[in-house]
Chain A
Amino acid sequence: MSPRETRLDRALGAAPTVTAGPRPLAEMLAFAWRAILKIRHNPEHAVDVVVTPVMFTVIFTYLFGGALAGSTDAYLDFLLPGILVQTVMFTSIYTGFILNQDIQRGVFDRFRAMPIWRPAPIAGAILGDVVRYTVSAVLVLAVGLVMGFRIEGGAGALLAALVLLNVFALGVGWIFTALALMVRTPGTVMTLSWLVLMPVTFGSNIYVAPETMPGWLQAFVAVNPVSHITTALRGLLGGDPSLSAIALALVTPFAVTAVFAPISMWLYGRER
C-alpha cells in the first residue's frame, strides 16, 4: 500500500466526535466568519462600493459646492451624511449578489443538506454585513474628514450614526435578499438593484435641498426614506440631533424587515 493510500485510509477511517443537532449561534458565527473571509478575498467589492461615493463627494463638493452652499466647506457638511447613506445602500447590493452566487454555484445545496439551523446561512451573512457596512462607512467618512468634514456631535454622535446606518442598511438589505432569491443570475441582482437605488438616492435631499425642485419631485423627496435618514444623520453629525427625525428614519428599515424577512425566508426554504 502506498503512503498516500495509508494516509487516505487513516483519514477516512477516523471518526471525529461531533456535537449533534443545530447550534444556531455557533453556526451563525461560522457563516459570519465566511462572509468576512469573502471580503478579505474580494477586496475589490469593498473598493467598488466606496469608490463611487468618494468620487461623488469630491466632484459635488469642489464642482458644485461653492455654487450650491456658498462655500465648499459648508456644502461638505451638508453632503457627507447623505453620502454615507448612499455608501451603505450600495454595499447592501452585495448582500444579494453574494447570496445569489452561492445558490447558483451549488454551495447552498451542501448547507441545506446539513443538520444545521435553517436560517443560519442568511443570519450569518447579515452579521457579516454589519462588518461591511461599518468598514465602508468608516472609509468614506475618513475621506470626508481629510477633505475638511467635522463631526460636531462628538464620539457618541458618530457611534449613533454608525448604528443608525447599520439598522437602515440591514433593513433595506432584505429587499435585495428577497430579490436575490427570485432571479437567476448575480448580474441580474446587480442590474435590478441599481435600478432601484439610483432614483431613490438622487430623488432625495442628499445632494441638494429640495426647495428649488418642481412640486412633484419635492413630494417624492419628502416621502423618500433616504431623505429621512439623511436628515437624521445631518442632525446627529452636525451636533443637533433630532429624536423625531431618528424615529422617522427607523420606520422604513423595520417595516421593510417585517415584510421582506419572512418573504426571504420563505423563498430560501422553497425548492429549486
Chain B
Amino acid sequence: MSQAILTEDLSKSYGPTRALDGVSLSVPRGQVFGLLGPNGAGKTTFVRVLSTLIRPTGGRAQVLGHDVATDPGAVRARIALTGQFASVDEDLTGRENLMLLARLIGLPGNAARARCAELLAAFDLEGAATRQVSGYSGGMRRRLDIAASMIARPELLFLDEPTTGLDPRARADVWAIVRRLARSGTTVLLTTQYLEEADQLAERIAVIDHGRVIAEGTAAELKARVGSGVLKLTLRDAPAAAEAARIADRLGLEAHAQDDPRLLEVPLTGADEALPLLSALTAEGAAPVDFAYGQPSLDAVFFALTGHGAEPEHEPAP
C-alpha cells in the first residue's frame, strides 16, 4: 500500500525566500506523524502544499498515492485540514458550521443533522451548539475545528499547530482527541513547536528548520540524540554558575549558559544523571538555589541538532 505522504526534494519559493528547501519525507499510513519546528521553519507551507492550497515550485509530493500537482481533486477527496488559525466561521453557530460542511460533502439532510449532533456531543460542544463561534474560547474553537474535519472520515488529517495559543487545560483536551484519532486509524500529520507535544502524540517525528528536515526518527531516537531531559539550574550568582558549568564539564555533561547569567541548562540522557551532578555541585560549594528537571525545550533540541538555538522567523507572507 502506498504511503500516506511521500515527498521528494519538495520545494516552495516565494521570490528569493525558500520556504521549503528540498524536503524528502515518507509518512506511513495509520500513524500520527509529528513535524516539529519553530515559527517560520516551513511547517505551514508544507501543510499547504500537501493539502493542495499552494503549488510546489520544485520536487514531487504524493498524498495517499495521488500527486498534489497533477491530481489535486483526488487528494482533496481524501484529506481534511484543520488550519493554524481556527478555520471555522465566527458568525455562525457551532452546529451551523458543521451543517454547512456536512452539506458540502454531500450528506443528505437527516444524516447530516444526526452526524453533527453526534460530533457536537463527542467533542463536548453540545451546550454551545447554538451559540455563535465568535463567543467560543480558544479550546472550544479548536475542538469544533477538529470536529469539522471529521464529518466524513478523512484518510489523512492535517493538524497545523492545534494547541498553539491554548491554555494547558484546553491543550490536554486536544491531546486526548488526537490520541483517540490515532486509535481510530486516521493518519495524522501534526505540526507543533513543542517537543513535548510531538513526543506525547507522534510515533515518528521530523524536525524542520529553514525549510529543510534536519532530523527524523521516533521520539526515542530523537531523544537519544538530544537528551531526553534537561536539568535547569539556578545558581547563587554568575561566578557560581561558571563554577557549576566546570563541574558539569568534568562529569562529561554539557552546560548551556542562558540569557540570565545565574541560569544553566544541562541536557541529560535520563533523570538518573541528575543526582550525581547535584551531589557534586553541593559537595563543591556550588549548590543550586533552585532546580527543575523537564523535557528539553525546542531551543535545546535545536542546539543539540544544529549547534544553534531555534531562531524564530516570520513565515513569508502568504
Which of A47-55, A56-64, A80-88, A104-112 contacts its partner? A104-112
* B152→A18 contact, CB < 8 A: yes
List the A side residues contacting B91 at CB < 8 Å: 37-38, 41-42
Interface string of A10-38 (1 = CB under 8 A from B): 11111111111101001100110110011
**Of A5, A30, A42, which contacts B180 at CB under 8 A?**
A5
**Of A8, A14, A26, A34, which contacts B106 at CB under 8 A?**
A26
How far does the Cβ of B206 sit from chain A's closest Cβ, in whole Å?
A: 22
Assuming the contacts A8-B122, A16-B115, A116-B104, asked whether A271 and B55 have C-beta atoms less than 8 A apart, the reply is yes
* A11→B122 contact, CB < 8 A: yes
How far does the Cβ of A35 sit from chain B's closest Cβ, in whole Å?
A: 10
**Of B80, B86, B89, B124, which contacts A4 at CB under 8 A?**
B124
* A109→B87 contact, CB < 8 A: yes
Whether, in the assembled complex, A115 has its beta carbon less than 8 Å from a beta carbon of chain B, the answer is: yes
Smallest Cβ-Cβ distance to B78: which chain A residue: A115
How far does the Cβ of A19 sit from chain B's closest Cβ, in whole Å?
A: 3
* A9→B104 contact, CB < 8 A: no
How far does the Cβ of A107 sit from chain B's closest Cβ, in whole Å?
A: 5
Interface string of A255-272 (1 = CB under 8 A from B): 000000000000000011
Whether, in the assembled complex, A114 has its beta carbon less than 8 Å from a beta carbon of chain B, the answer is: yes
Give Cα A5–Cα B123 distance, bound, in whole angstroms.
10
Interface centre among A7, A9, A16, A113, by most B CB within 10 Å? A113
Smallest Cβ-Cβ distance to A20: which chain B residue: B77
* B107→A18 contact, CB < 8 A: yes
Assuming the contacts A15-B152, A113-B53, A115-B77, asked whether A7 and B122 have C-beta atoms less than 8 A apart, the reply is yes
Whether, in the assembled complex, B318 has its beta carbon less than 8 Å from a beta carbon of chain A, the answer is: yes
Give Cα A20–Cα B77 distance, bound, in whole angstroms.
8
How far does the Cβ of A267 sit from chain B's closest Cβ, in whole Å?
A: 15
* A110→B148 contact, CB < 8 A: yes
* A11→B92 contact, CB < 8 A: no
Whether, in the assembled complex, B54 has its beta carbon less than 8 Å from a beta carbon of chain A, the answer is: yes
How many positions in chain B have a CB within 8 Å of any CB in the partner chain? Answer: 53
* B150→A12 contact, CB < 8 A: yes
* B107→A107 contact, CB < 8 A: no
Smallest Cβ-Cβ distance to A27: which chain B residue: B104
Whether, in the assembled complex, B171 has its beta carbon less than 8 Å from a beta carbon of chain A, the answer is: no
* A37→B107 contact, CB < 8 A: no
Give Cα A10–Cα B121 distance, bound, in whole angstroms.
11
**Of A7, A13, A37, which contacts B121 at CB under 8 A?**
A7
* A12→B122 contact, CB < 8 A: yes
* B76→A115 contact, CB < 8 A: yes
List the B side residues contacting A19 at CB < 8 Å: 105-106
List the A side residues contacting B106 at CB < 8 Å: 18-20, 23, 26
List the B side residues contacting A120 at CB < 8 Å: 104
* A12→B104 contact, CB < 8 A: no
How far does the Cβ of A127 sit from chain B's closest Cβ, in whole Å?
A: 14
Which of B181-189, B288-296, B305-313 contacts its partner? B181-189
List the B side residues contacting A12 at CB < 8 Å: 122, 150, 153, 180-181, 184, 186
Interface string of B175-219 (1 = CB under 8 A from A): 011001101101000000000000000000000000000000000
* A9→B53 contact, CB < 8 A: no
Interface centre among B48, B105, B123, by most A CB within 10 Å? B105
**CB within 8 Å of A: which B55-108 residues:** 55, 73, 76-77, 79-81, 83-93, 96, 100-101, 103-107
Assuming the contacts A5-B180, A26-B103, A34-B100, asked whether A11 and B53 have C-beta atoms less than 8 A apart, the reply is no
Give Cα A205–Cα B86 distance, bound, in whole angstroms.
47
List the A side residues contacting B105 at CB < 8 Å: 18-19, 114-115
How far does the Cβ of A30 sit from chain B's closest Cβ, in whole Å?
A: 4
* A30→B103 contact, CB < 8 A: yes
How far does the Cβ of A120 sit from chain B's closest Cβ, in whole Å?
A: 8
Give Cα A33–Cα B100 distance, bound, in whole angstroms.
8
Smallest Cβ-Cβ distance to A22: which chain B residue: B73
* B152→A16 contact, CB < 8 A: yes
Whether, in the assembled complex, B132 has its beta carbon less than 8 Å from a beta carbon of chain A, the answer is: yes
The 6 closest A-B pairs by CB, nearest first: A19-B106, A11-B122, A30-B103, A12-B184, A115-B77, A106-B87
Q: Can you give 7 contacting A-B residue pairs, CB < 8 Å?
A: A4-B124, A7-B121, A12-B153, A16-B107, A26-B106, A41-B93, A115-B105
Interface set of B (CB-CB < 8 Å, partner A): 48, 51-55, 73, 76-77, 79-81, 83-93, 96, 100-101, 103-107, 111, 115, 118-119, 121-124, 132, 148, 150-153, 176-177, 180-181, 183-184, 186, 318
Interface set of A (CB-CB < 8 Å, partner B): 4-5, 7-21, 23, 26-27, 30-31, 33-34, 37-38, 41-42, 102, 105-107, 109-116, 120, 271-272
Given A42-B91, A109-B87, 13 more pairs with CB closer than 8 A: A11-B123, A12-B181, A12-B184, A20-B77, A33-B103, A34-B89, A37-B92, A41-B91, A106-B83, A106-B86, A113-B79, A113-B80, A271-B53
